[in-house]
Amino acid sequence: MNKRDSQLPLARTEKLIIKEIDDEVLVYDLVSDKAHCLNHTAALVWKHCDGNKSVSQIAASLTDDIGKPVDEKIVWLALDDLNKFDLLQTAPIRPLAFGGLNRRQMIRAASVAAIALPVVVSIIAPTPAMAASPCSAGDTCNTPADCCTAHPTCVTTGAPAGRGCRP
């Protein structure tokens, strides 16, 4: 991979389950057991990360998709989140002009009024054992049979007002 190619973001597609719902994209990462929800803007950026377009070309594509001008800073915000959640196979290196800016400063500098800011929300999915257990951290058990002794993923806390379950 040459230096030019390293500036062409490429979305990760392996070991992901991808579901489009209205203007959002839900992505379940089979490797990390994390679910990610990409809002419309973040989803558009991710879809344009084909390894052939530069950040400025992605911004131009978003401008065409949305019908309003999209600043490159918006694309960089989305790429930062996508990279943070391991949704990029190849992430470009932010240029020095953007290097010292934090998210808040980039938002201010982008003067975003045309489109929604890119947002990626992530949650950790429960392990199969946690999902199968009817008790969770903080649940109380009136009798040991309620959940604590019946499910090895939970233990009694010895609390006087009842037994508590912890994963």
56-88 pLDDT per residue, tens: 999 999 999 988 888 888 899 899 999 999 999
Q: What is the mean pLDDT of the chain?
A: 75
> 95 and 113 in one domain?
yes
How many angstroms separate the CA atoms of 88 and 104, rounded?
22
Supply 152's token pair.
């090895």
Residue 78 amino acid letter: A
How many angstroms separate the CA atoms of 108 and 30, rounded?
35
> 43 and 102 in one domain?
yes
> 138 and 88 in one domain?
no
Domains in the chain, number: 2
The model's pTM? 0.65
109 neighbors 101 (Cβ within 8 angstroms)? yes
> 114 and 131 in one domain?
no
> 134 and 84 in one domain?
no
> 61 and 135 in one domain?
no
> 102 and 90 in one domain?
yes
Q: Which residue has the higher pLDDT, 2 or 106?
A: 106
Mean pLDDT, rounded, for 121-126: 73
> 164 and 88 in one domain?
no
> 61 and 10 in one domain?
yes
Strand order of the sheet with strand 24-29?
16-21, 24-29, 34-38, 120-124
> 120 and 144 in one domain?
no
- Whole-number pLDDT of residue 151: 47
Most confident range, picked from 13-17, 89-93, 120-124, 154-158: 13-17
> 17 and 96 in one domain?
yes
What lies within 8 Å, CB to CB, of 29 at 6+ separation is 15, 16, 35, 36, 85, 86, 87
| Residue 95 clears pLDDT 70, i.e. is over it | yes
As a whole-number percent, the residues of the chain with pLDDT over 70 amount to 57
How many angstroms separate the CA atoms of 166 and 140, rounded?
9
**Domain span at residue 8?**
3-124
